[in-house]
């Protein structure tokens, strides 16, 4: 029997970012004994890095804004592949989730009449992002962290113990979800500090583990983003949806090499920054795609007037959705019009007074000064695309965040569906709160229905989990660091921003090879805070997730949002109705299948002009719309007749 530390809870939340903390607050408020587990210290999760803001149609900057416009923008951004129910709930509930943060102590920037200020962002029709300078994620995480502390203080007053109902297990990595009779029974992990194993018994687990960016070489994501939650869900028997959709943020730092990929917030463009190539040209005017023509300015003059008078002018094309801007930059670089270090220029220095730049973009100013020796109030920045966000993720029920495995829930970046093929800026932070809360509610309803019959963990499963976790301490020659570097480079090159069939096939071969070599990864030393060992365990997750990405990227023979196939450059209405689903088979091999996208309700479709819908929907879908809708599933949705 494995030597371990044991804990008993009602709910375990894996992840202490925005989604995990909001889920935990909800679970605790619903009366559940809740554990929060995270790989880094409390308050350091990836959410802390979010800069620009949190999207919610509070209508403080423009009273015309409402949930319907937010819904429309979200669906457009996602190219209509979003889970429509998720997009609807998100648009409706985001304002209340933001206002709630104020009751926890958040201090957003204000409008002149004292309400929460809202800023412009790519793809959002109205100024919609609540923000605190360019450190909104820090405000979000600190606020939720402090709310947790306040709940712990309440518990302390009542029970004499801060941790009687809500405890944070920081620097603990979960390596397996344990089940009994098909339902969740708990989770297994290790303390990063001591290497000691920990077993949690709990009938409900909420995954809030974030993304997968560390599988790519150039990324804005931190080391935590190794796709653990995605892999845990797969191994527990849940499914992943649309893993081919990965957002490459158009503006990451490109120089110096050691900071390549670090994010340059979109607020730089929202606040007036423009993109230029080596010829000094504002090239984005050449890249407005047909579906967006009519919403974006044709001339620099009109674009510039928009900042002052958005009612009577169209938006600058720099504020197109991220996928469009990233592809445009990629193309400028490919055609030889790049800045000295292989990016393009992003300039605010000629657009705003220095004082204003320092006030509105303090952390960008700081970041460039400290890391690149560039003063953004005096000279342009050099930027290029960086792997930023995964739209794909664990398949969940929109209302409860439940996966197909009883007791397993997922919320935040690890969950899929909400953003369709492309996420709008600011829509992640709001997603975390809306669906984090819903996961907390979902889990508590599930537990209430369970009553006293909680699944019991089997000793044999625990021993197996321990065995797998200890496997890297073998006398073998593969170095986890080199394997990881190879994976990152290859994913970047072969399944990156632009994809081709041959290259994706090459990536799949490379994954076969790495899977094989991963079996002989060996690490030195002991279990105490051993980063080589940690990486070896993370590698297993990254390899599984990368295979899902590559398989789905090969299957989807069209270009849409965060998936661009050079050999299939157009968007195909037949594919609009198709989700690609990954699961594991009995021998842990990834299986891919097609599944219809949930139908968009008639009343939601009617929020759009028919001419706009005709750019996305198939002829039969449009005919049904004209006939007043129907409750049957879209017939063409499996897309299986495509070559």
Torsion, CA 566, CA 567, CA 571, CA 576, rounded to 10: -110
CA atoms lying within 13 Å on the CB side of residue 159: 11
- Binding flag, residue 50, ligand FAD (CB under 6 A): yes
- Binding flag, residue 432, ligand FAD (CB under 6 A): yes
Q: By beta-carbon distance, which residue lies closest to ligand FAD?
A: 17
Judged by CB under 6 A, the residue of 2, 30, 40, 489 near ligand FAD is 40
- Identify what 370 binds: another protein, ligand FAD, none; CB under 5 to 8 Å per kind: another protein
Minimum distance, C-beta of residue 100 to another protein, in the bound complex (Å): 5
Which of 242, 636 has the CB closer to ligand FAD?
242
CA-CA distance, 643 to 633, in Å (whole number)? 22
Which of 136, 145 has the CB closer to ligand FAD?
136
Candidates 203-211, 334-342, 499-507, 607-615; binding stretch for ligand FAD (CB under 6 A): 203-211
Beta strands in 157-273 (DSSP E): 166-170, 172-180, 183-191, 197-201, 204-207, 240-241, 246-253
Q: Residue-wise over 561-576: b if at least 16 C-beta within 10 A, else e?
A: bbbbbeebeebbbebb
- Residue 365 designated active-site: no
Which of 105, 182 has the CB closer to another protein?
105
Candidates 208-216, 345-353, 396-404, 465-473; binding stretch for ligand FAD (CB under 6 A): 208-216
Beta-carbon contacts of 632 under 8 Å, excluding residues fewer than 6 positions away, are: none
Candidates 17-25, 86-94, 516-524, 603-611; binding stretch for ligand FAD (CB under 6 A): 17-25
Size, binding site for ligand FAD by CB under 6 A: 44
- Identify what 545 binds: ligand FAD, another protein, none; CB under 5 to 8 Å per kind: none
- Binding flag, residue 426, ligand FAD (CB under 6 A): yes
CB pairs under 8 A, 24+ apart, for 534-539? 534/173, 534/192, 535/480, 535/481, 535/484, 536/472, 536/480, 537/173, 537/175, 537/469, 537/472, 538/214, 538/226, 538/228, 539/226, 539/480, 539/483, 539/484, 539/487
What residues numbered 215-234 form the site for another protein, per CB under 8 A?
A: 222-224
CA-CA distance, 240 to 393, in Å (whole number)? 5
Closest alpha carbon to 236 in 174, 308, 311: 174
- Binding flag, residue 258, another protein (CB under 8 A): yes
- Identify what 142 binds: ligand FAD, another protein, none; CB under 5 to 8 Å per kind: another protein
Region for residue 11 given its phi and psi (left: phi exceeds 0; alpha: psi -120 to 50; beta: otherwise):
beta
- Residue 269 designated active-site: yes
Q: Do 408 and 447 meet the contact criterion of CB atoms below 8 Å apart?
A: no
Site string for ligand FAD, 124-163 (x = CB under 6 A): ------------xx--------------------------
Q: Which of 7, 167, 192, 249 is catalytic?
A: 249
What residues numbered 344-363 form the site for another protein, per CB under 8 A?
A: 363
Candidates 38-46, 56-64, 178-186, 460-468; binding stretch for ligand FAD (CB under 6 A): 38-46
Q: Do 72 and 608 meet the contact criterion of CB atoms below 8 Å apart?
A: yes
Q: Is the dihedral of CA 236, 241, 245, 249 positive or negative?
A: negative
- Binding flag, residue 554, ligand FAD (CB under 6 A): no
How far CA 185 is from CA of 205, 455, 507, 537, in Å, comes to: 9, 5, 36, 22
User: What tokens appear for 212 in the block?
Assistant: 């997968």
Which of 114, 628 has the CB closer to another protein?
114
- Binding flag, residue 562, ligand FAD (CB under 6 A): no
- Binding flag, residue 221, ligand FAD (CB under 6 A): yes
CA-CA distance, 444 to 442, in Å (whole number)? 6
Q: How many CB atoms lie within 10 A of CB 406?
A: 17
Candidates 25-33, 108-116, 204-212, 348-356; binding stretch for ligand FAD (CB under 6 A): 204-212
Q: Do 464 and 49 meet the contact criterion of CB atoms below 8 Å apart?
A: no
Q: Name the residues that contact another protein, by CB under 8 A.
A: 40-44, 46, 48-49, 95-96, 99-100, 102-105, 107, 109-110, 112-115, 117, 132-133, 135, 137-139, 142, 146-147, 149-150, 152-153, 156, 162, 193, 222-224, 255-259, 262-263, 363, 366-367, 370-372, 479, 481-482, 523-526, 528-533
Interaction site with ligand FAD (CB under 6 A): 14-20, 37-40, 45-47, 49-54, 136-137, 173-174, 208-210, 220-221, 224, 228-229, 263, 388-389, 412-414, 425-429, 432
* Active-site amino acid positions: 249, 269
């Amino acid at each position: 029997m494995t030597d371990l530390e044991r804990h008993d809870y009602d709910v375990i939340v894996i992840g202490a970012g925005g989604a995990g903390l909001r889920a935990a607050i909800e679970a605790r408020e619903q009366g559940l004994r809740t554990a929060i587990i995270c790989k880094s210290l409390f308050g350091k999760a990836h959410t802390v890095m979010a800069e620009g803001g949190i999207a919610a149609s509070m209508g403080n900057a423009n009273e015309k804004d409402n949930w319907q416009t937010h819904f429309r923008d979200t669906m457009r951004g996602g190219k209509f592949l979003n889970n429509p129910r998720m997009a609807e709930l998100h648009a409706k509930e985001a304002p209340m989730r933001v206002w709630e943060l104020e009751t926890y102590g958040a201090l957003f920037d204000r409008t002149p009449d004292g309400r929460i200020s809202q800023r412009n962002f790519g793809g959002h029709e109205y100024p919609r992002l609540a923000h605190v300078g360019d450190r909104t994620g820090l405000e979000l995480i600190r606020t939720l962290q402090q709310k947790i502390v306040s709940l712990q203080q309440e518990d302390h007053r009542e029970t004499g113990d801060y941790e009687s109902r809500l405890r944070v297990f920081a620097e603990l990595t979960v390596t397996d979800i344990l089940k009994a009779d098909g339902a969740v029974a708990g989770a297994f992990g290790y303390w990063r500090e001591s290497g000691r194993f920990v077993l949690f018994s709990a009938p409900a687990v909420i995954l809030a583990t974030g993304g997968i960016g560390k599988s790519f070489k150039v990324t804005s994501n931190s080391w935590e983003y190794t796709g653990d939650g995605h892999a845990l869900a797969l191994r527990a028997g849940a499914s992943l949806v649309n893993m081919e959709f990965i957002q490459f943020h158009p503006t990451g730092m490109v120089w110096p090499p050691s900071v390549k990929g670090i994010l340059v917030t979109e607020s730089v463009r929202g606040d007036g920054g423009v993109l230029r190539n080596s010829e000094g040209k504002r090239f984005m005017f050449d890249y407005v795609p047909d579906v967006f023509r009519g919403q974006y300015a044709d001339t620099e003059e009109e674009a510039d007037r928009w900042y002052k008078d958005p009612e009577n002018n169209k938006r600058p094309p720099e504020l197109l959705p991220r996928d469009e801007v990233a592809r445009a930059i990629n193309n400028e670089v490919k055609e030889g019009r790049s800045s000295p270090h292989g990016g393009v220029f992003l300039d605010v220095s000629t657009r705003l007074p220095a004082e204003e730049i320092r006030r509105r973009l303090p952390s960008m100013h700081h970041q460039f000064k400290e890391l690149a020796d560039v003063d953004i109030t005096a000279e342009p920045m050099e930027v290029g695309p960086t792997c930023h966000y995964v739209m794909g993720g664990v398949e969940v029920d929109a209302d409860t965040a439940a996966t197909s495995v009883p007791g397993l829930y997922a919320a935040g970046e690890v969950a899929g569906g909400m953003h369709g093929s492309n996420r709008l800026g600011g829509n992640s932070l709001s997603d975390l709160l809306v669906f984090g809360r819903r996961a907390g509610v979902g889990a508590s309803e599930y537990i209430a229905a369970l009553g006293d019959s909680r699944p019991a963990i089997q000793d044999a499963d625990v021993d197996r989990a321990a065995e797998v976790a200890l496997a890297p301490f073998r006398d073998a020659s593969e170095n986890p660091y080199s394997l990881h570097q190879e994976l990152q480079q290859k994913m970047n090159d072969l399944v990156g921003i632009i994809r081709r069939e041959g290259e994706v096939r090459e990536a799949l071969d490379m994954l076969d090879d790495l899977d094989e070599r991963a079996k002989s990864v060996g690490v030195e030393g002991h279990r105490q805070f051993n980063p080589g060992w940690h990486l070896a365990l993370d590698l297993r997750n990254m390899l599984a997730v990368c295979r899902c990405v590559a398989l789905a990227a090969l299957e989807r023979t069209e270009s849409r949002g965060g998936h661009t196939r050079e050999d299939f450059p157009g968007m195909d209405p037949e594919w609009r109705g198709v989700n690609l689903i990954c699961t594991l088979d009995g021998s842990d091999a990834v299986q891919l299948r097609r599944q219809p996208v949930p139908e968009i309700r008639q009343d939601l479709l009617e929020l759009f002009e028919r001419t706009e819908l005709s750019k996305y929907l198939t002829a039969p879908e449009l005919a049904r719309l004209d006939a007043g809708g129907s409750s049957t599933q879209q017939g063409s949705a499996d897309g299986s007749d495509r070559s």
